[in-house]
Amino acid sequence: MITSLAQLSVDWSSWSLPWSRFYLQGTACSILVAVTCGVLGCFVVLRRMALIGDALSHAILPGVVITYMVTGDTQPVPLLIGAMIAGLLASVLINLVSRHSRTKEDSSIGIVFTAMFAAGILLTGSLPRGTHFDLKCFLFGDALQVGTADLVTMAVISAIVLTLITALYHRLKLVSFDPLVAAAMGVSVGAMHYLLMGMLSATVVAGLKSTGVVLVVAMVITPASAAYQLTNRFAVMLWLSALFGAVSAAVGMSVAFVFNASTGPAMVLVATAIFAASMLLSPGHGVVFNRLRRWRLARHVRNEDVLKALYSLGPQPAATHLSALAAHLKMQPARIGRTLARLRREDLVTAVNATEIALTPAGTRHAEEMVRAHRLWETYLADHAGLPPDQVHDEAERLEHAHDLNERLDEVLGRPETDPHGSTIPR
Amino acid sequence: MATDAPPIAAHDLTVAYDARPVLRSASFTLERGHMLSVVGPNGAGKSTLLKSMLGLITPDYGSVSFFGQPIDAVRHRIAYVPQTEAVDWDFPITVAEVVLMGRTTSRRGPLGWLKRPGPEDRRHAADALERVGMTNFAHRHIRQLSGGQQRRVFLARALCQGAELLLLDEPFAGVDAKTEATLFALIDQMSSEGKTVLIVNHDLQILDQFDQVMMLNQRVIAYGPPAQVVTDENLRATYGGRLSLLDEADEKLRERRTERDHLARTTQR
């Protein structure tokens, strides 16, 4: 066991220089990319533009290659300008295609970005022999190749994007939530859209060395989607998304560095893990808590059903109580036994002696409260909701578990004496 | 001059989608403090009328002035509440935030668009919520409200804008009669405070409570006080189907692919 662990391909010597310059620069740049993408991603996710994010990252290739052909060099700033022009061109083309043909927007996006990406690849092939243009790095990224110039460019872009979003926060929120009203109020919806697109292109281009074109869209939508699971506040979503992005970048870089793996995929998988966790564990929208809530409600309803059955049947002989209750409730005896055990723990049911199962005084009160709820709801449904009296029973059977509302219900109804079937409502 | 100009003066407003006219030569004037109900069957161009007036759709022909001025000069005096079916109810936003959005363009002066909502804006928003009786729900997410409460929140946002002219697109769609009465009372109160209100509405029962009624089915069939306008004849003309000769003429013109301006204007000359 121990030997097999040691044989794992961990390059422990890398721990001796964990703070190498490449690692540090790569991590810093990736965190900046991830935070900026995370914040922009919230807008992309809420405006349902995930496909556009993917399209932009691919469509910038011809811009980058043409700039490289013209300048003959890989300085980040000219490449960035070329890429941004290509990115904006792509969003304008997408708009034109979907407006002037029958093609819907999603197909237009597909047509435009694949065309531009294809043109970019052909252009790469036509570069003169011996020139160094690393298509693989462009496609898949390699954060360890990040140079000081790249880091500085990314820092400047992050600062500009985050400042713009802070300054225009309220407008961007309005435009994203309610574009029609925003336009009616005189906010330029189109300008805001292209501003977001421009910021997204710049961030994606500057961050290409971290994740590459193919995976960068994950850094845009995955942390934002994880944050979306967890909050009902827009500002909180922006902060959480930025935080998730930063954690994905930092952890992903460390994992990649230790295991000598690719940096981009590592970051993306960490972000995906965060998303999966938020999908399962979100207190408000998560799978686990939703199940738990439903299970607790079902258990509560079973408790009360058994309680009420015992109330209406009266004390039951121990020998036959399970079968009597099972017949009354149409429930499995084993389940009734477990429910009775819970009720006993809450002191609502006692085994009076070895021969009889009955309600305690507290249990009787609880059951009476439910009978009251049931008859009050029947009255309410018949008088206020206009249901015929012979149809109110089933609905009241469900609503009686909301007996916390009894007092208010009684007051609204004017404290009636009897329910629609003529039974006395207990007080 | 602008002080006595009517809140809305629409002239010959015509809109065509894909060379298919949906609104033909709509002309009307709405006086200050009046309440107007626009009624008509589905697809009669009611929402299109509002959107084209606000410049959200470019009309193919015709013009509108608000308070005697073009729309862009007076947007801050107009509040628009579109149909709620387009709202993304999963958007992470609370009731208070929605209402405060009404103040987004209220900050005038140089670089006003960089300023953040201040105490005065928050006071306006709180007042608006109070007016519609939603103060206790300020921190709820919009998904957690009933249909009637959602309408009230969007009404509060319009109030919060401090506008003099309200354009409401089907504020009563999909709510029960009691909620409709509550909403109507709120709107009526705004009107009695001097605001001008235009409501796209489906409920013919309440037409007598308006100052003006417009019957619309692609074109303005009748416009005036309800006592004159709400007649069997007008209702039949509005709800009894389109004028088929006009549709046929449009079809012919579409085939010929004439110029857009021509196409759109095939009526009332």
Q: ipTM for the complex? A: 0.84
Does residue B251 register a pLDDT over 70?
Answer: no
| A–B CB contacts, 8 A cutoff, strictly below | 75
The verdict on B161 touching A (C-beta cutoff 8 Å) is: yes
Domain that holds residue B15: 8-87+165-264
Q: What is the pTM of this model?
A: 0.78
Measured CA distances, A311 to A138, A314, A384, B29 (Å): 74, 5, 29, 71
B86 to chain A: nearest residue by CA?
Answer: A178
Angle at B242 between CA B240 and CA B243, to 5 degrees: 115
Report the CATH number that the domain containing residue B23 is assigned in CATH. Answer: 3.40.50.300
Interchain CB contact of B136 with A (< 8 Å): no
Q: Tell me whether residue A8 is exposed, middle or buried, using C-beta atoms within 10 angstroms of its C-beta: 0 to 12, 13 to 18, 19 or more.
A: exposed
The answer to whether residue B94 sits within a structural domain is no
Q: How far apart are CA A292 and CA B101, in angstroms?
A: 36
**B245 and chain A in contact, CB less than 8 A:** no
Q: Indicate whether B3 belongs to any domain.
A: no
Token pair listed for B151: 């309408």
Instruction: Judge contact between A46 and A176, C-beta under 8 A.
Output: yes
Asked if A180 has any chain B CB less than 8 Å from its own CB, the reply is yes
pLDDT of res. A9: 54
* Per-residue confidence (pLDDT) for residue A312, from 0 to 100: 80
> Interhelix angle for A148-167 vs A189-206, to 10°?
160
Could you say which of A170, A182, A184 has the minimum Cβ distance to residue B117?
A170
Task: Evaluate if residue B255 carries a pLDDT over 70.
Answer: no
In the predicted model, is pLDDT for residue B2 greater than 50?
Answer: no
- Using CA atoms, how far residue A86 sits from A75, A186, A194, A241, in Å, is 17, 29, 13, 27
Strands B165-169 and B78-81: parallel
Q: Confirm if A279 and A286 have CB atoms less than 8 A apart.
A: yes
pLDDT of B170 over the 80 cut: yes
Over residues B171-194, the mean pLDDT reads 86
**Contacts (Cβ under 8 Å, ≥6 apart) of A70:** none
Q: Write down all domains in chain A, each with its CATH number in brackets.
A: 18-281 (1.10.3470.10), 288-359 (1.10.10.10), 363-413 (1.10.60)
Query: CA B237, CA B215: separation in Å to the nearest integer?
Result: 9
What integer best gives the mean pLDDT of chain B?
83
List the single residue in B98, B105, B116 with the smallest CB-CB distance to A185: B105
> In this model, does residue B227 exceed pLDDT 70?
yes
Long-range CB pairs of A385-392 (<8 Å, 24+ gap) are: A389/A420, A389/A421, A392/A420
Residue B60: inside a domain:
yes
Please check whether residue B182 touches A, CB under 8 A. no
Distance between CA atoms of A18 and A14, rounded to whole angstroms? 6
User: With 60 as the cut, is the pLDDT of residue B49 above it?
Assistant: yes
For A278-290, give one letter per residue: b (16+ CB within 10 A) or e.
bbeebeeebeeee
pLDDT at B261 (0 to 100): 46
Residue B95 lies in a domain: no
Residues 6+ apart with CB under 8 A from A356: A315, A316, A317, A318
Question: What is the phi/psi pair of residue A365, to 5°?
Answer: -60, -45
**Number of domains chain B is built from:** 1
Closest CA to B68 of B135, B152, B10, B151: B10
How close, in Å, is residue B257 to chain A by CA atoms?
Answer: 16
Do residue A233 and residue B94 have CB atoms under 8 angstroms apart? yes
User: What are the strands of the beta sheet with A316-317, ordered from one edge?
Assistant: A316-317, A356-359, A349-353
Domain assignment of residue B104, yes or no? no
Nearest one of B120, B75, B129 to B97, comparing CA atoms: B129
Pair of tokens at residue A289: 């808590």
Contact B101 A177 (CB under 8 A): yes
**What is the secondary structure of A223-282 as a DSSP string?**
HHHHHHHH-S-HHHHHHHHHHHHHHHHHHHHHHHHHTT--HHHHHHHHHHHHHHHHHHH-
In a domain, B137, yes or no: no
Residue B96 lies inside a defined structural domain of this protein: no
| Residue B206 near chain A (CB below 8 Å) | no
Strand order in the sheet with B219-224: B78-81, B165-169, B196-200, B35-39, B212-217, B219-224
**CA-based nearest residue to B213, from B38, B12, B48, B18:** B38
The pair phi, psi for residue B221, each rounded to 5°, is: -85, -40
- B204 in any annotated domain: yes
Among the listed residues A421, A294, A306, A413, the one whose alpha carbon sits nearest the alpha carbon of residue A370: A306
Say yes or no: A170 contacts chain B, CB-CB below 8 A: yes
- Tell me which residues of chain A have a pLDDT lower than 70: 1-19, 129-134, 352-354
pLDDT of the residue at B98: 93
Say whether A181 and B94 touch across the interface (CB within 8 A): no
Chain B contact present for A174, CB below 8 A: yes
**A171, A232, A234 ranked by CB distance to B104: nearest:** A171
Contacts of B187 (CB under 8 A, 6+ apart): B35, B155, B166, B168, B171, B197, B199
Structure tokens at B74: 């007076």
How many residues comprise chain A?
427
First to last CA, chain B: 31
Joined together, the tokens standing for residue A53 give 């994010």
* Helix (H/G/I), strand (E/B), else coil: A112: helix
d(CA A197, CA A391): 57
Is the CB of residue A418 less than 8 Å from the CB of residue A424?
Answer: yes
Are the CB atoms for B206 and B36 separated by under 8 Å?
no
What's the order of all strands across the beta sheet hosting B20-30? B20-30, B8-17, B61-65
pLDDT for the residue numbered B259: 47
Rounded to whole angstroms, how far apart are CA atoms A303 and A292? 16
Cα(A377)–Cα(A313) distance, integer angstroms: 22
Which chain B residue has the Cα nearest residue A224? B92
DSSP string, A7-39: HSS--GGGGGSTT-HHHHHHHHHHHHHHHHHHH
Instruction: Note whether B92 contacts A186, CB cutoff 8 Å.
Output: no
Amino acid at site A155? A
- Residue B213: exposed, middle, or buried by beta-carbon count in 10 A (0-12, 13-18, 19+)? buried
Could you identify the residue written with the tokens 């189109």?
A190
**What integer pLDDT is reported at residue A18 of this predicted model?**
55
Distance CA A353, CA B182 (A): 60
Q: Are B215 and B223 in contact (CB under 8 A)?
A: yes
Contact A268, A276 (CB under 8 A): no
Q: Which of A240, A290, A232, A386 is nearest to B145 (CA)?
A: A232
B174 touches A at CB < 8 Å: no
Determine the Cα angle at B155 with ends A169 and B149, to 5°. 100
Torsion of CA A53, A59, A61, A64, to 10 degrees: -90
Residues 78-137 of A with CB under 8 A from B: none
Q: Residue A313 is which amino acid?
A: L
Percent of chain B with pLDDT over 90: 26
Give contacts of A174 with chain B, Cβ < 8 Å: 101, 104
